[in-house]
Amino acid sequence: MVWENIKLAFKSMFTNKLRTILSLLGIVIGVMSVVTILTLGNSASGSITDAISTGGTDLITIYTSGNSSTFTEEFGDTLRRNINGIDAVTPMGSQQVRVRYKDTTSNYTVNGVQASWAELMKYNVAQGEWFSTEDNLSRRQVVVLGSEVAKKLFPGGDAVGNYVSVFRTQAKRYLVVGVMEEKDATLSVSFNNAVFMPYNTMKLRLGGSSRVGTYIVKVSEGKDSTVVSDDIRDYLDNLVGSDAYSIFSASTLTSIANDITDTFTTFLAAIAGISLLVGGIGIMNIMLVSVAERTREIGIRKALGASPKVIRGQFITEAIALTMVGGLIGIGLGTFISKLVTNLAGWSFKVSIPAYALSVGFSMVIGIFFGWYPAKKAAKLDPIDALNYE
């Protein structure tokens, strides 16, 4: 009987194609919106996580401020000895400088870092090489350029082996030893528009405050970076107070970002859900029309022995079939649109299975809910009246 009802439902949907399509539109748009929003939310959240993790989820960045004399180069070792789960700590200094090559001059951030830094950040050399520990210890005047800096100063691609002038109070010539690959900025470092030089060289030549501006902490393998960053926070709060530093780790940022996207997604999906409700009312409307139009058919079926229960089943099935077809079309369109948008935005496309399940389930519930009243009306028709209906 169920199977017969499904066949009947599709038969009646096909006899009135245009009307079926129009009455489905509400559900299609509703489901499409829900699927698109949830899928995009899922994909965006994934992309945010990816973006944050490019710097490495095992990295914690500590920014220092104020005049505390605690933040020396050696403080990195102190930190490593006092807190469990730290693999390495490397100091980093940043300053704004002017860099010139021939007639081109531009302002850049110069980062003074140790030789191990590039590997720590998973930052790869495109041409030439990264500077060595020896360069750092000997305070050699060498620089490595971020990809955009190299492009701007050396449009011909001949950066390595040439000298650039770096200004602070006076110009000094630095040998370009390497050009780096492109790398998306993390929340603590921008790579492509920066110039990198040995930490000690920077300290000697560019001076500035004796305080180390930034420490990059690498968490030991298998340790939870959230736990380690909490431990660092406790330690520093005791030592210098919470005003003297701020701390960022990829994993805490990821969870904050995910919370935000989740909230937005839920909010938008709820709004889209309202359009599903409107779609459901459309279904109810068309089912009422259908029952009125087919009054005679209902009368005939009742005369042939269809019980009220059977008639009700027939019309409920029809309503469910309508909403399910609408739901499936909506899922298809929603997936297509999300795929399009993620491609345009450059996010990785992540299908949201709960979105599909939710849409199919919700379509069915709407079919039952809004099909119930018309079906009940059909079931209660008096067979004699229905047979004489013109």
Partner 1 sequence: MVPVIELDNVSRYYIVGDFIVRALDQVSLQIQKGEFTAIMGPSGSGKSTLMNMVGCLDTPTSGRILIDGADINGLSEEDLAYIRNKKIGFVFQQFNLLPKLNALENVMTPLLYTGDIGVSERKLRAQEALEKVGLKDRMKHRPNELSGGQKQRVAIARALVTQPSLILADEPTGALDTKTGIQIMDLFKELNNEGHTIVIVTHNDEIGTSCPRLVRIRDGKIEENA
Q: What does the binding site for partner 1 look like in residue numbers (CB under 8 A)?
A: 1, 4, 11-12, 15, 296-297, 299-310, 383-384, 387
Closest distance of CB 319 from partner 1, Å: 18
Nearer to partner 1 by Cβ, of 237 and 382: the residue is: 382
Adjacent-strand bridge partners of 381: none
Rounded to whole angstroms, the Cα distance separating 277 from 229 reads 46
Nearer to partner 1 by Cβ, of 30 and 299: the residue is: 299
Nearer to partner 1 by Cβ, of 50 and 293: the residue is: 293
Closest distance of CB 346 from partner 1, Å: 51
Closest distance of CB 22 from partner 1, Å: 20
Closest distance of CB 18 from partner 1, Å: 17
Closest distance of CB 284 from partner 1, Å: 23
Nearer to partner 1 by Cβ, of 23 and 314: the residue is: 314
Nearer to partner 1 by Cβ, of 9 and 28: the residue is: 9
Sign of the dihedral defined by the CA atoms of residues 245, 251, 254, 255, in that order: negative
Closest distance of CB 370 from partner 1, Å: 24
Are the beta carbons of 381 and 298 closer than 8 angstroms?
yes
Nearer to partner 1 by Cβ, of 25 and 310: the residue is: 310
